[in-house]
């Protein structure tokens, strides 16, 4: 292979993986050989998480045992509760997750990686909703909550902590299925960050903290928050049409459209759009979903760009009564499964990840002593 500089490493193969593929044309998605379309509607998130982390689909008894294990891991250590209370109310929830993950690593440190890694993955999956919601409820609603619930799934657990009641069945199912869609996506920016950290032989918590920090950016996980802000800017489809034309004329970047890998469509988008439409009907919505459809239409007509998973997931989460600032943390609740699988895989045949760079600075020159500058 010849040395070639590619901006953003787009299209450059950076390694091998048996976890996920987006397909040769970039318009399909498979987790360990199973298509996303086949899993959604037939599996729950915990089945998919088990597949990613442990390498196989669980049978009914293994799934029940796995859900019970996750249920037993939801309680926060007292020291972590103290730290969460000290994080300012103004902090972004993604920063709360970064701090929570890193601090947990000091309380429950990884001393035997090959023996502990799957248990740490499960602990983080169980605990991330508890971390965010304990902080959120304390600072935003002034109450200290018990983070243990009897909900079978991560989605229902999160919603119960948020709403302080059992969620409606359709709402719980919609969030659960969205977690499957967000669970894994090959060498995306946050996953690659986790693998780079892992490749230095750093610990599991450090790798996941790196990934969370990377996902926080609006060009990655934060796009769903930006998409919701865009949708809420308009009250009618006509307003949305005029507003989009104006934004495009000013060459604004419209979040939630296009993809670094997919060329024709995002196979996850049609699925989450279906959920957004059903939830809109459940809520009797006459504004949010029609506006989202118009934005979608305008982007297709004017820019020939398709919505990615983030665009309609924003509307779907809105209809589930989830505050916009919590959209990206939900991404983390899902992607911890994929990140964990990649940390484990990187360790199996590890080589430090250290690419080269094309130097474009000054030619060699003599150093000038400070007295002569």
pLDDT tens sequence across 72-96: 999 999 999 999 999 999 999 999 9
Between 1 and 136, residue with greater pLDDT = 136
Between 11 and 234, residue with greater pLDDT = 234
Close Cβ partners of 26 (under 8 Å, ≥ 6 residues apart): 259, 261, 262, 263
Query: Mean of the per-residue pLDDT values for the chain?
Result: 94
75 is catalytic: no
Between 9 and 158, residue with greater pLDDT = 158
Structure confidence at residue 25 (pLDDT): 65
Q: What is the edge-to-edge ordering of all strands in the sheet holding 34-35?
A: 20-21, 30-31, 34-35
66 CB neighbour count, 10 Å cutoff: 18
The answer to whether the predicted template modeling score (pTM) of the entire model surpasses 0.85 is yes
Residue 356 has pLDDT above 90, yes or no: no
Structure confidence at residue 1 (pLDDT): 40
Q: What is the mean pLDDT of residues 191-215?
A: 97
CA 69 to chain centre: 22
Ordered structural domains, the chain, with CATH: 20-216+329-348 (1.10.580.10), 223-319 (1.10.230.10)
139 is catalytic: no
Structure confidence at residue 142 (pLDDT): 93
Residue 272 has pLDDT above 90, yes or no: yes
Close Cβ partners of 197 (under 8 Å, ≥ 6 residues apart): 206, 207, 210, 211
Residue 130 has pLDDT above 50, yes or no: yes
Residue 2 has pLDDT above 50, yes or no: no
Close Cβ partners of 29 (under 8 Å, ≥ 6 residues apart): 20, 21, 22, 23, 35, 36, 185, 267, 268
Which one-letter DSSP state was computed for residue 111? S
Among the listed residues 220, 285, 318, 342, the single catalytic one is 220
Of the candidates 242, 252, 162, 342, which has an alpha carbon nearest to the alpha carbon of residue 171? 162
101 CB neighbour count, 10 Å cutoff: 25
Q: What is the mean pLDDT of residues 217-226?
A: 82
Structure confidence at residue 300 (pLDDT): 96
Q: What is the mean pLDDT of residues 287-302?
A: 97
Residue 6 has pLDDT above 80, yes or no: no
Q: What is the mean pLDDT of residues 274-278?
A: 98
- Dist. CA 122–CA 120, nearest whole Å: 5
Q: What are the Cα distances from residue 330, in Å, to 103, 323, 364?
A: 20, 11, 49
Structure confidence at residue 105 (pLDDT): 97
- Dist. CA 105–CA 79, nearest whole Å: 12
Half-sphere exposure of 25 (CA within 13 A, CB side): 7
User: Is-contact 287 328, C-beta < 8 A?
Assistant: no
Residue 185 has pLDDT above 70, yes or no: yes
Gyration radius from the chain CA atoms: 22
Q: What are the Cα distances from residue 110, in Å, to 151, 286, 345?
A: 28, 50, 17
In which band, very low, low, confident or very high, does the pLDDT at 199 lie, cut at 50, 70 and 90?
Answer: very high
- Please measure the distance between the N-terminal and C-terminal CA atoms of the chain and give it in whole angstroms: 44
Q: Which residues face 40 on adjacent strands?
A: 43
- Dist. CA 27–CA 181, nearest whole Å: 14
Among the listed residues 266, 296, 310, 318, the single catalytic one is 310
Which one-letter DSSP state was computed for residue 362? P
Q: Is 43 helix (H, G, I), strand (E, B) or coil?
A: strand
Structure confidence at residue 172 (pLDDT): 98
259 is catalytic: yes
Q: What is the mean pLDDT of residues 321-343?
A: 97
Residue 3 has pLDDT above 60, yes or no: no
Measured over the CA atoms of residue 155, residue 160, residue 163 and residue 168, the dihedral's sign is: positive
Structure confidence at residue 221 (pLDDT): 76
Q: What is the mean pLDDT of residues 16-35?
A: 87
Structure confidence at residue 89 (pLDDT): 96
In which band, very low, low, confident or very high, does the pLDDT at 5 lie, cut at 50, 70 and 90?
Answer: low
Percent of the chain with pLDDT over 90: 86
Structure confidence at residue 7 (pLDDT): 57
Residue 159 has pLDDT above 80, yes or no: yes
78 CB neighbour count, 10 Å cutoff: 8
Q: What is the mean pLDDT of residues 24-33?
A: 83
In which band, very low, low, confident or very high, does the pLDDT at 260 lie, cut at 50, 70 and 90?
Answer: confident
Structure confidence at residue 161 (pLDDT): 98
Among the listed residues 30, 157, 185, 259, the single catalytic one is 259
Measured over the CA atoms of residue 287, residue 290, residue 292 and residue 294, the dihedral's sign is: negative
User: Is-contact 217 200, C-beta < 8 A?
Assistant: no
User: Is-contact 216 92, C-beta < 8 A?
Assistant: yes
Q: What is the mean pLDDT of residues 156-166?
A: 97
């Amino acid at each position: 292979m010849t040395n070639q500089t590619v901006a953003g490493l787009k299209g450059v193969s950076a390694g091998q993986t048996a976890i996920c593929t987006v397909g040769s044309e970039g318009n399909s998605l498979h987790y360990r050989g199973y298509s996303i379309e086949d899993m959604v509607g037939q599996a729950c998130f915990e089945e998919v998480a088990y597949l990613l982390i442990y390498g196989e689909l669980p049978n009914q008894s293994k799934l029940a045992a796995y859900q019970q294990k996750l249920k037993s891991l939801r309680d926060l250590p007292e020291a972590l509760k103290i730290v969460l209370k000290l994080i300012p109310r103004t902090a972004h929830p993604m920063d709360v997750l970064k701090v929570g993950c890193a601090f947990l690593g000091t309380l429950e440190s990884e001393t035997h990686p090959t023996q502990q890694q799957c248990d740490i993955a499960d602990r983080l999956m169980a605990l991330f909703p508890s971390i965010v919601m304990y902080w959120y409820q304390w600072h935003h609603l002034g109450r200290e909550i018990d983070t243990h619930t009897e909900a079978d799934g991560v989605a229902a657990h999160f919603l119960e902590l948020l709403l302080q009641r059992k969620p409606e069945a359709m709402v719980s199912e919609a969030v659960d299925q969205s977690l499957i869609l967000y669970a894994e996506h090959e060498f995306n920016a946050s996953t690659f960050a986790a693998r780079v950290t892992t490749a230095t032989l750093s610990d599991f918590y450090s790798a996941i903290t790196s990934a969370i920090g990377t996902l926080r950016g609006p060009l990655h996980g934060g796009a769903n928050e930006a998409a919701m802000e865009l949708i809420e800017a308009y009250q009618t489809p006509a307003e949305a049409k005029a507003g989009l034309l104006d934004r495009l004329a000013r060459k604004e970047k419209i979040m939630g459209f296009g993809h670094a890998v997919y060329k024709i469509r995002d196979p996850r988008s049609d699925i989450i759009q279906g959920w957004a439409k059903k939830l809109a009907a459940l809520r009797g919505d006459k504004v949010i979903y029609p506006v989202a459809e118009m934005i979608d239409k305008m982007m297709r007509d004017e820019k020939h760009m398709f919505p990615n998973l983030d665009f309609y997931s924003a509307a779907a989460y809105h209809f589930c009564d989830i505050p916009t600032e919590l959209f990206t943390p939900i991404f983390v609740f899902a992607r911890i499964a994929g990140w964990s699988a990649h940390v484990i895989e990187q360790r199996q045949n590890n080589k430090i990840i250290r690419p080269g760079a094309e130097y474009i600075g000054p030619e060699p020159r003599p150093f000038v002593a400070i007295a002569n500058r």
